[in-house]
Structure 1
């Protein structure tokens, strides 16, 4: 038997949740060709052999919630951000989340759409007319990981009707349904929403259900950044479940959390709701990241009426003192259907993570900047949004550790980083999520429950999204997306002050057989590509 690579002496954790077992693994031409008892491949000849004694050999990790859609086009000086997932063992990223995919673009709203994509991904690129066009463009780049693209509702809506704050008319809804069908025909893996973001915040439940029904016809799930993850989190879950029933498709709740101190402890309520839905036969899953802080664009903390009409209109509004003076009232009294993240966290816990115009404020809270400059928090927010042309990123410290752990342990919870590959001091989840989730709990033996931890980042997301090629499972015939790690030493090192520190304990990563990480270091070789659901 001739092969390209043999991993000898390791313990296979195959992604199914089954007990780990000692085995040697052979890889040929990007495919797993043998998984055999230790020593039984001694007669095989391989170009490369690695002694992985004491290490776990697992399927490459699948990030169930990523935003790396255009990360490979970031400037070279920001390359560390683009490859951070790979160094954690991630080989496939589910992108197009929170309603924001770089496709589909239409001629009528092309300028607004391109603006939307440039602000969201900060690569200088605009959008693409279709998933096919997007995939063709990515094929020209060196891709560290595979991408499994979702169709974003925000992108779909802006392509059909711009950033209008109203319900779609019959023609606009029909156009969204047609564009959605085209995306699923071209291999989109699901339909995502960002119902707290412009323009998704303007959409009603019926609009979402109509388009989710298109996804359902292709066997693709409805994937929701819900309307509210704080005070109205229960109603938001109810809405997501209703949409799944109406659309006859599965429901996946993105980065499930209960945000804001008054809501701490409510994970018991939300998980009971999800348990009840599953007991009733509904296909419901969630993803979660192992941190008590979230991250988003600073402009997303503004009331939704501020963003109606697109970026240029938003910047004009927050530059106008008479308009700006209306905003504090909305923070004080709230608006129907609006999740006020700033109030959920508190201005002292909203921290600038990236400011292109003033990197010196990175790491400071809005409250700290306000005190230092003699301005109110709303003026700090508006001035910063204008200076950065809505490119400011913030970290919001707003969850409780007990809730995070409860959600992580729920029966259908998988790992999703929600990592946003943007410059500055991004949330450390971009570089630390998978090592942190893989690490054994304090007081537990390193190998204890490792099969379950691996399953939540391999087989579980692979099944949810129908990831092709046998990815998510280490079996003969599967694509050789493989990670070798040490359960005894694996740990994240990324912190809020130093968010791009790579983890320890991730020894080797292969993407379609391409040895992309060796001994914890990048090799410069890339094996990723855009995947298609079939």
Structure 2
């Protein structure tokens, strides 16, 4: 070695030592050690450590010698991607920005605007959420019912060409503002008044910008098979991925029919249609009392006028009795339970039969229909319908194309009597259906809650534990995780969700909120 190259070599060795020293002392903002890692892709687990810097996962493996500002020893715990709720009623988000009822379930992303009820104006609503300190990440769908009401009110007719074009422009506007797709609520007003052609034309606008179509089907009871067929036609005609949302077979006469609907999904996928489902893990649904009332009776907001006419009232009552016997009512007044009654709070948690007894009325179908009319005249109720079969729930859950959506409304302790899914959806699957019933394996369940859903939504760098991905992570105890919320005592947080990390920040630690809010509004097709 000559005298000229010696200093160069010394500098090279010095730089190499510095780099080696830096690599050995890599410091993380958050370090998770000794956990059983489920990466969200349906395999695993593997034991390892995860290093987080800022909002990203930067290292996975043996990080025994690493330094970190905060270290979580996850020995005996499962480390999963944060759970993704594919169907959430986020309407109270301004009042409940932490979304604690979801966050403490381990959910780190929720998709709002389902059942045709997306926010409007879309862009300004999302902008308003950017500054309120969200506890979780949120995204939204454009709601068909919202747009139809905006353009056509509650009228039962086809849109004019001008009205249809205006609705199409609104869908396009929502997609440009970051919507993940379009949702319909074809069982609800005014969506129930729309025909196939209208829905297809609007769905084409979402499809053109890589959106999805989610649908509360036109019927989930006696008309379920035809309603699934309609959704498949929409997928084909609009060239759009379809999610049969909160998929179910409701009403005693339809129990067991999930075998047919799942076969229809499989057949459609074989011919190239992109059909999936989401589901909540309960044998009871939740919606308004108006679902028992024939839709024609509610058209144009003229319900009060119609029930004042004795002839029309008789027809309305006949329709309600039919629905109690054959559809959502489950053939039993005790299967209809009130969750939210602003005008008679003492009814919350009680059944339609309880109300009849409170009024000193005979618990007959005719009297039940009379009180349903009274409830609607008073402003309606939130209502739980115990009208599904557990075997159908399990069949749908097992299907490889079924994701998880709570269909829960953001809730806070003491407010109303919500469906327990608002507090317990994800822990119930992990505890009851995985650990106790073994309907799913743990890797399968986590995949349905994370990677499968993220892929459906096109969420970039989320839903999987992988270097370079966002650090949305849930850590739970697989031996103890369980829902606590029940139909009689709903306001109870689950057990076993130990830590929840949102965009790299720990928002739940040892089962309690830390006071940090690090959620974001996520807009599809935007940075």
TM-score (norm 1): 0.88
Q: 2:356 maps to which residue? A: 370
Aligned to 1:106: none
Please tell me whether the aligned partners of residues 508 and 519 of structure 1 are also in contact (alpha carbons under 8 angstroms): yes
Supply the distance in 2 between the matched residues of 1:474 and 1:158 (Cα, whole angstroms): 41
Q: Is the 8 A contact 1:331 1:340 kept in 2?
A: no
Decide whether aligned partners of structure 1 residues 24 and 509 sit closer, same or farther in structure 2, where only a CA change above 3 A counts. Answer: same
Check if 1:67 corresponds to 2:59. Answer: no
Q: Residue 403 of structure 2 is aligned with which of 408, 414, 417?
A: 414
The whole-number CA distance in structure 2 between the counterparts of 1:339 and 1:218 is 43
Are 1:385 and 2:385 matched, yes or no? no
Offset of 1:326 from its aligned partner? 3.5
Matching residue of 1:400: 389
Equivalenced residue count is: 492
1:449-464 pair list within 5 angstroms: 449-464=441-456
SS across alignment from 1:240: helix
Aligned to 1:86: 103
SS at match of 2:58: strand
* Residue of structure 2 in register with 1:283 after alignment: 274
Deviating 4+ runs (over 6 angstroms): 319-322, 442-448
SS of the residue corresponding to residue 484 of structure 1 reads: strand
- Residue in 1 that maps onto 2:39: 14
**Structure 1 residue 301: Cα displacement:** 2.5
- Computing the radius of gyration from Cα coordinates, the structure with the larger value is 2
* 1:428-443 aligned within 5 A: 428-439=420-431, 441=433
1:321 deviation in Å?
6.4
Further displaced range: 446-455 or 392-401: 446-455
Residue 504 of structure 1 corresponds to: 495
Q: 1:224 to 1:340 in 2, by over 3 A?
A: farther
What is the correspondence of 1:54-203 to structure 2 with a 5 Å cutoff?
Answer: 54-74=76-96, 82-103=99-120, 129=121, 131-203=122-194
Match of 1:116 in 2: none
Q: How big is each residue's C-alpha offset from its partner over 1:311-336, in whole Å with a ceiling of 9 and x where there is no partner?
A: xx4456557767544311223567xx
- The answer (yes or no) to whether the contact 1:194–1:200 under 8 Å persists in 2 is yes
User: Using a 3 Å threshold, how does the CA distance of structure 1 residues 524 and 443 change in structure 2: closer, same or farther?
Assistant: closer
Compared with structure 1, are the counterparts of its residues 50 and 198 closer, same or farther at alpha carbon in structure 2 (3 Å cutoff)? same
The answer to whether the 8 A contact 2:329-2:336 is kept is no
RMSD of aligned alpha carbons: 2.3
* Cα drift, residue 497 of structure 1: 1.3
Contact 1:446 / 1:487 at 8 angstroms: preserved in 2?
no
Deviation at 1:340, TM superposition (A): 7.3
Conserved 8 A contact 1:440-1:487 = no
Partner of 2:263: 272
Asked if structure 1 preserves the Cα contact closer than 8 Å seen for 2:252 and 2:326, the reply is no
The offset of 1:73, in angstroms, is 1.6
Q: 2-side partners of 1:344 and 1:446: how far apart? A: 28
CA distance in 2, matches of 1:495, 1:397: 13
Q: Distance in 1 between matches of 2:440 and 2:244?
A: 28
Aligned to 1:487: 478
Structure 1 spans left out of the alignment, 5+ residues: 104-128
**Partner secondary structure for residue 396 of structure 2:** helix
User: 413-422 or 22-31, which moves further after superposition?
Assistant: 413-422
TM-score where L is the length of structure 2:
0.89
Give the drift of 1:54: 1.1
SS in 1 for 2:449: coil
Change (3 A) 1:162 1:450: same
2:199 aligned residue (180, 205, 208) = 208
Distance apart, 1:411 and its partner CA:
1.4
- Distance in structure 1 (CA, Å) of the matches to 2:48 and 2:214: 37
